[in-house]
Structure 1
Amino acid sequence: MKTLGIYLCELLAAYGVDTVFGIPGVHTVELYRGLADSPIRHIGARHEQSLGFMADGYARVSGKPGVCLVISGPGLTNLLTAMGQAYADSVPLLVISGVNALGKAGSGNGYLHELPDQQALASQISAFSHSIRCADELPQVLARAFAVFDGARPRPVHIEIPLDLMTAPAGHLPVPQAPPRLKRGTAAHEALQDAAQRLRRAQRPLLLVGGGACHAADEITRLAEQLDAPVLMTINARGLLPAGHPLALSCSPSLPATRALIEDSDVVLAIGTELGPTDYDMYADGGFCVPGQLIRIDIDPQQLFRNRAADLPLAGDSAACASTLSALLAGHQGSTHGAQRAAQTRAAFWQTLDAQSHADLHLLLRIRDALPEARWVGDSTRLVYAGNLGFDAPAPHHWFNASAGFGALGYGLPAAIGAALAEPAQTVICLVGDGGLQFTLAELGSAIQSDVRLVLLLLNNACYGEIKSAMQAAEITPLGVDLPSPDFVALAHAYGWQAERSDDEEVIVHAVLAAAKRSQPTLIELTSRMA
């Protein structure tokens, strides 16, 4: 008999799912019944929070939703932090969990893993959360999930399946050969014509682009070149214009140099960006301002009116809207000083960097130049903060981390594993600190088990450095921030990694290059003066 658990695997495969991330338990074993015989590979982790971070990294690189299978109760609650990170960064996650049988869930009788209402918990950090009540609901609910991923602002979706329904008969339910999928559309033509006219008249145009525009790199590059407009990229948009492009600005919008450029621009076109404070006001000084006309493009209509409301809102897909604007501006030759404005901003940026950030960014760029195709995945740590200030990535989704938005510590290592699984032939460089690594240290074992190419750069200062500095700056006696560290090199060796430590930049760069040639993951610990 084909059960609902078997049917779920068939349906996921029909939607193109080739990887699921899961930790099986007695409340999900029936969802695994059809998995071994399906074309879907299963990737495990040591903890559900890491499982979600892996799925997040996989989704960003593969362009497919990260799918997680978790047990009811603690499986889902452990995953909530990863769902929060994905919700904040608009990453598509499909979370499928068990729940107690119909009539038992939320009873208060104390069944294993029972919560009063786990669907209500998940609904706070998902596009929607749905509890299946009969087998026939599953196709429709899964179609709704992919409608969110394909046609709206991508965010987590949670589907819970009661234990007794996992074994329900599903042989009568069809498996579509090619389920219908949504294609994102463009904004209203009249509004786009208005935008084109405003951009045509602009003397000092500027593009602000965010993570929601990463799939529109070609269209936005073409539009920027038509307008001769600098393109200022947020953390999640780095690489949308590649390193070296004369109009590319991979500098934080929170810095004086970039704010001066924004304030000098007469028309600003913001595409796929929240204009949120962790990118545009990271020092919380309230200094972000767009005095010129602001045109915004976003797939989420509500976002057009958050933070700085648009003077001209365009609700639609970034790629489709940018392509239409480019067509409407055919033959237009923009200002001839866009590259000069960008170059002046870059020069001013470098002049304002403090010595430590300058040194850290110099190290990252040396490694990038030696490994130009590598992807960089980070936690919250000093090297990541320096890179967020001014790292030029070669392409979209080649630089991402969890230090902005939701800011979940422990993201780096598991997300890097997910990224490596999505693109196994490419080197992934993971930037972590000793504090963040100890959140998910056991995933060193998952990296070996998953057979990924990974270089982990560990900055070990034996403390939560940023928090300690903040306490000292506020004249608060530091408490709870010093971390006696284990021997990370020995631990890495115990898990089967290559590992070494150094405080010499030349040695570190050569070690990274050597590690990138190995199929075995490598940990390189930066100590002493480097930390």
Structure 2
Amino acid sequence: MNSPENASLFAHAGEHRQLRTATTQTCGEALVRLLEHYGVELVFGIPGVHTVELYRGLAASTLRHVTPRHEQGAGFMADGYARVTGKPGVCFIITGPGMTNIATAMAQAYADSIPMLVISSVNATHQLGNGAGRLHELPSQHGVFAGLTAFSHTLLNADELPQVLARAFAVFGSERPRPVHIEIPLDVIVAPVRGMTFGAPVLPAKPTGAPTALDEAAGLLAGARHPLLLVGGGAIEAATELRALAERLQAPVALTINAKGLLPRGHALSIGSTQSLPATRALVREADVVLAVGTELGETDYDVVFDGGFAIDGKLVRIDIDAQQAMRNFPPDVAIAADAKLALAALDARLAARPLPLREAGWGAPRVRAVRAAVNASYDGPMRSQAALLDTVLDTLPSAVIVGDSTRPVYAGNFAFEAAEPRSWFNSSTGYGTLGYGLPAAIGARLASDNRPVICLIGDGGLQFTLPELASAVEAGVPVIVLLWNNRGYAEIRKHMVERDIEPIGVDIYTPDFLALARGFGCCATTAETPSLLANELKQAATRRVPTLIEIDEQKWFDNVSGEPA
């Protein structure tokens, strides 16, 4: 197609051929070298006419490229990769529709503080903001994404690329991690970069917390008779420090969904992730000092019943790398702007140097046991049968990473499931709460997990959002295991409609033959209706080199595992 837009691209390519010499490289080539320099291993993207120059140096690099079937899939794959590794997931995305396609994935990552680097093209510098109807043109692509990122930057000078990337990696390594967007105009992508050097990356140190605030917090905790810890995903690297402090204080610990695994399964001080349930809420209100670490104290972890019933009556100490977040939702008595790992270690050192009072009899582990017993007794038949599904997975594949979508077994697991280690249970039902996340995020997680099995736990409605990514998994050789919970529609929303006396509309959707579809994509596909059958299928799936879809009919599972009719 010989359009004005293509003519413009060919002109830029011609400029590139004239300018490129043995001693220079284009901005696109320099970008690839800089990503290698920062330890990037994977790039997710769909090449397009506006991004081909980003790919010029890719084939000769150490970076692996994975092609999703939709830019939203690229973002979710990058998210899953980042959650398992702690490293930023990187995407190459085309101008305009590519960027609006990835917006939902960026918003989910923003909500959950996930590092993601989105490199996009944008129209040439002399075309920006002209409104001339250019190919893929947005009035202000930068403006659209400024609200979904730590920062969105338009690179107007190729020589500034190293500085802008350094800013991005400073966010990922030293601040609250969130997506960063760098857009490069078409003429800048092909512009020469000269004299770029590659010394060791220099990044700011993480904040350690003000000594006076740490002293004040240690004083409150030292004098507490009923201390309690609320811990979020911001403490994901602090498992050792958290356990040491909790055991020193004999303090019950409640973990958010993204913090699961920070205490070992069955630890005597672990309440689990039941902050929205009455027994746990009562325990929190009994605490005279609450230490909240790396948690927003937001509703999707503390009030999923949406009744406003979560309360903190004692003194509140908050540790957060984001100083602003430490002031939101529940105002603290002491605020510590610091990295969770460093601050917890500093608090533990201070407490080790002073005598601690005797805890009131029945606090700590005995009180946790009572709360856990009350919580377990409150679970109904469907909840127990879905918990049995998750127990079967973990008993069969103890090292598995479980990546969830918004579906009933995930909601159950957010309460009842205890992860074996950090970064092995995460899903999209919290924060932004999107559908379709599970499959592409599981692909990204499996790419990051060496030989650890990765389970995608997803419903039939959610899977239809991103079903074509099965082809991406087959193409990339990613043997992800898809557990498909099939209740033939949006059952959770149907339930809410009925509870509110609304005639259900739009929730009983057409259900395709998922087994045939999966096989058509090149996957193995089967069913499982009991824990023993599921365990057998999981064992076989874990040995394959291609993805496996295991369909579980909700009603049959309930019938066989003592659940109630849906």
| TM-fit CA distance, 1:355 | 1.5
1:508 aligns with: 534
CA distance in 2, matches of 1:481, 1:228: 47
Matching residue of 1:251: 273
Matched, 1:327 2:336: no
How do 1:87-486 residues align onto structure 2 when only pairs under 5 Å count?
A: 87-170=110-193, 172-330=194-352, 332=355, 335=359, 337-486=363-512
* Aligned-residue offset at 1:236: 0.4
Find the aligned partners of 1:146 and 1:458 in 2 and give their Cα distance: 36
Could you tell me whether the CA contact under 8 Å between 1:376 and 1:398 is conserved in 2?
yes
2:91 aligns with 68
- Taking structure 1 as the reference length, what is the TM-score of the superposition? 0.98
Opposite residue 464 of structure 2, the aligned amino acid is: Q
Matches within 5 A, 1:5-20: 5-20=28-43
Instruction: Give unpaired runs (5+ residues) of structure 2.
Output: 1-19, 559-566
Task: Give the Cα separation in 2 of the matches to 1:448 and 1:183.
Answer: 40
Code of the residue aligned with 1:523 in structure 2: it is L
Distance 1:521 1:285 in 2: 41
Cα distance in 1 between the residues matched to 2:171 and 2:229:
27
Aligned residues: 530
Q: Deviations over 1:275-319 (max 9, x none)?
A: 001111111101010001110000000111100111111110000
Secondary structure at the aligned position of 1:329 is classed as helix
Q: 1:251 offset after TM fit, Å?
A: 2.7
1:519, CA displacement in angstroms? 2.6
Residue-by-residue CA offset, 1:136-185 (whole Å, 9 max, x unaligned) = 12111111111111111100000000001111011x14132312022212
The residue number in structure 2 matching 1:523 is: 549
Deviations 1:434-457 (Å, cap 9, x if unpaired)?
A: 000000000001111121232111
Q: Match of 1:12, as an amino acid? A: L
Query: What do residues 223-244 of structure 1 show as CA deviations (whole Å, max 9, x unaligned)?
Result: 1111111110010000010112
Cα shift readout 1:416-436 (whole Å, capped 9, x = no counterpart): 000000013100011000000
CA distances 1:235-290 after superposition (whole Å, capped 9, x unpaired) = 00000101121112223211111101101111110000000011111111010100
Secondary structure of 1:177's counterpart equals: coil
Name the CA distance, whole Å, in 2 between partners of 1:486 and 1:173: 57
Q: What displacement does 1:412 show?
A: 0.1
| Aligned residue type for 2:556 | R
SS of structure 1 residue aligned to 2:352: coil
Is 1:41 the counterpart of 2:71? The answer is no
Alpha-carbon separation, structure 1, partners of 2:470 and 2:557: 23
Which consecutive unaligned segments of at least 5 residues does structure 1 have? Answer: none
User: Which one-letter code corresponds to 2:399 in the other structure?
Assistant: E
Higher mean displacement: 520-529 or 219-228:
520-529
Deviation at 1:405, TM superposition (A): 0.5
TM-score (ref. length: structure 2) = 0.92
Alignment check: 8 A CA contact 1:360 1:383 kept: yes
CA contact (8 A) 1:235 1:252 kept: no
How far is 1:370 from its partner?
A: 2.5
Partner Cα distance (2:232, 2:447) in 1: 25
Query: In structure 2, how many angstroms separate the alpha carbons of the residues matched to 1:367 and 1:114?
Result: 47
Counterpart in the other structure of 2:521:
495
The separation in 1 between residues aligned to 2:86 and 2:48, in whole angstroms, is: 28
SS across alignment from 1:439 = helix
Which one has a bigger Cα radius of gyration? 2
Counterpart Cα distance in 2 of 1:502 and 1:376: 18
Deviation at residue 131 of structure 1 after TM alignment: 0.4
- Matched to 1:432, the amino acid is I
Task: Work out whether residues 290 and 316 of structure 2, in 8 Å CA contact, stay in contact via their aligned partners in 1.
Answer: yes
Q: What is the CA-CA distance between 1:472 and the residue it aligns to?
A: 1.2
Distance 1:156 1:496 in 2: 33
Identify the residue that residue 5 of structure 2 maps to in structure 1.
none
CA apart distance, 1:39: 1.0
Q: How many percent identity over aligned positions?
A: 55
Q: Quick one: distance in 1 between partners of 2:105 and 2:218?
A: 39
2: CA distance, partners of 1:185 / 1:125:
24
Letter in structure 2 aligned against 1:139: P
* Aligned Cα root-mean-square deviation (Å): 1.2
Question: Helix, strand or coil: the match of 2:348?
Answer: helix
CA contact (8 A) 2:427 2:438 kept: yes
Q: Which amino acid aligns with 1:269?
A: L
Worse-superposed segment, 348-357 or 244-253: 244-253
Deviations 1:449-492 (A, max 9, x none): 12123211101111011111111111111111111111111111
Amino acid across the alignment from 1:120: G
Task: Indicate conservation of the 8 Å contact 1:148/1:154, yes or no.
Answer: yes
Alpha-carbon distance in 1 for matches of 2:108, 2:557: 29
